Amino acid sequence: MKSPMEAIKERYALIAPHLDERTERLWCAAEARSLGRGGVTMVQRTTGVSRPRITRGKHDLEEKPFADGRIRRLGGGRKRVAEQDLTLLPDLDALIEPMLRGDPMRGIRWTCKSTRKLSKELGEKGHVIGSTTVGKELRKQKYSLQGNRKTQEGSSHLDRNAQFLHIHERATVFQERGDPVISIDTKKKELIGNYKNGGKEWLPEGTPRTVKVHDFMDKKLGKAIPYGIYDIAKNKGFVSVGIDNDTAEFAVQTIRRWWHGVGREGYRQSTALYITADGGGSNASRSRLFKLELQKFVDETGLTITVSHYPPGTSKWNKIEHRMFCHITANWRA
């Protein structure tokens, strides 16, 4: 004849695959109650289900069944730290934003601060959060853990981080006043015509589109030079496409068109404009023509324009790269 423990073990082995979280603790609680004194201990040793779960099941037996097949009470379970501490995510973003970087061709971001360092700095602000939970919250905000890659050439200036912080702080001041902050740059030039690109599209098998073998520019069609303006606060973009050359006059003319066509309407009370750009190209930091054309624009509009250039070798961190140009690239790749 089987002992009570052997009988429980056999019954549990048969029914366990069909139990969910709630029904498992209810079954164990019912077995323990039927055994009387010492039943919880016997069921725990036989099934491996913890004593707290069996005890909780005994309490559940006294309550009404949950509606609609639920296994937990509505709103049950421990709340996320971010739900209990409403200022956590804003403070986390404030710590990351000055050091934020991103891939201009993909919808991800990453930061050069470790989760332990972020946890420590959040603790100094009065938040109780561990490094593991910081990592979970970063993933929920679509951050990605990135490894090192050998892509840099030359040395990095000691004041590089300070330059990033300066740009961030200036942009914040302008945005708090309600003044426009725009990111400008030239997109990679594209040949116009039947040329190969990096995209793919669905076609009948064995019938790919045929394109030119060589990527020599068609002198009649030329090439497209998209110059973009990204309004950071409104998350809107403006593109002017040239077919001649990427010059400082073309860059400022695009800013002028944006202001008269879009910017002035959206910022009626503003008398100042903040521009962030990389250090080369038509809007280079050392381009006298760019400064001259900007001064002409200032004389026309009466705006007070402030320009900040990103440090050398960091043009990919310009906001327009990973907020607007990525969508243009995806569109051109079909």
pLDDT at 108: 47
**d(C-alpha 108, C-alpha 178), whole Å:** 28
User: What pLDDT was estimated at residue 106?
Assistant: 45
Burial label for 312, CB within 10 Å (0-12, 13-18, 19+), is middle
Helix axes 39-47, 51-61, angle to 10 degrees: 120
Q: Is the pLDDT of residue 41 over 80?
A: yes
What DSSP character marks residue 281? G
Tokens of 316: 């990919």
Q: What is the pLDDT of residues 252-309, one digit of tens each?
A: 999 999 999 999 999 999 999 999 998 888 998 889 999 999 999 999 999 999 999 9
Please give the single-letter amino acid code of residue 205: E
pTM exceeding 0.75: no
Nearest-CA neighbor of 311 among 208, 164, 194, 136? Answer: 164
Distances in Å between the Cα of 124 and the Cα atoms of 63, 86, 102, 120, 156 are 44, 16, 27, 6, 30
In this structure, of 39-53, 96-110, 121-135, the range with the lowest mean pLDDT score is 96-110
What pLDDT score was predicted for residue 250? 92
Q: Are 106 and 326 in contact (CB under 8 A)?
A: yes
